[in-house]
Structure 1
Amino acid sequence: MKTFLLSIAALAAGAALLATPGQAERAVRIPAVAQDVPAKPGLQTAVLAGGCFWGMEAVFQGVKGVRDVTAGYAGGTRETANYADVSTERTRHAEAVKITYDPRVVSYGTLLRIYFSVAHDPTQVDGQYPDSGPSYRSAIFPQTPEQRAVAAAYIRQLGGTKAFGKPIATKLESGPFFPAEAYHQDFARKNPNHGYIVRWDKPKVSAFKAAFPTLAR
Structure 2
Amino acid sequence: MSFVQFLSDHRPSRGALARAGAAAVLAASALAVLPIAFAAEDPVVIAPPKMDMPASTAQTETAVFAGGCFWGVQGVFQHVKGVTKAVSGYAGGDAAGATYDKVSGGRTRHAEAVQVTYDPKQVTYGQLLQIYFSVAHDPTQLNRQGPDTGTQYRSALFPANPAQRKVAEAYIAQLNQSKVWPKPIVTTLETLPAFYPAEAYHQDFLLRNPGHPYIAFNDLPKVEALEKLFPASYHADAVRVTR
Q: Say yes or no: does 1:181 pair with 2:225.
A: no
Range 34-43 or range 13-22, more displaced: 13-22
Aligned match for 1:158, one of 175, 180, 184: 175
TM-score by length of 2: 0.84
Aligned to 1:8: 22
Inter-partner Cα distance in structure 1 for 2:189 and 2:203: 25
Range 4-13 or range 144-153, more displaced: 4-13
Aligned to 2:151: 134
Helix, strand or coil: the match of 2:234? coil
Inter-partner Cα distance in structure 2 for 1:39 and 1:10: 51
Helix, strand or coil: the match of 1:24? coil
1:40 is displaced (CA, Å) by 1.2
Aligned to 1:214: 232
Inter-partner Cα distance in structure 2 for 1:45 and 1:188: 21
Q: Say yes or no: does 1:51 pair with 2:68.
A: yes
State percent identity of aligned pairs.
53
1:15 is displaced (CA, Å) by 7.2
Contact 1:65 1:106 in 2 (8 A): yes
Aligned to 2:112: 95
Q: Say yes or no: does 1:28 pair with 2:44.
A: yes
Number of equivalent positions: 217
User: RMSD of the alignment, in Å?
Assistant: 2.1
1:9 is displaced (CA, Å) by 4.4
Contact 1:3 1:11 in 2 (8 A): no
1:170-216 C-alpha deviation (Å, 9 max, x unpaired) = 00011221000000000011111111011110000001100000110
**Max Rg structure:** 2
Which runs of 5 or more structure 1 residues have no equivalent in the other structure?
A: none
Aligned match for 1:114, one of 131, 137, 156: 131
1:24 is displaced (CA, Å) by 3.0
Contact 1:74 1:177 in 2 (8 A): yes
Which runs of 5 or more structure 2 residues have no equivalent in the other structure?
A: 1-13, 236-243
Contact 2:39 2:218 in 1 (8 A): no
TM-score by length of 1: 0.94
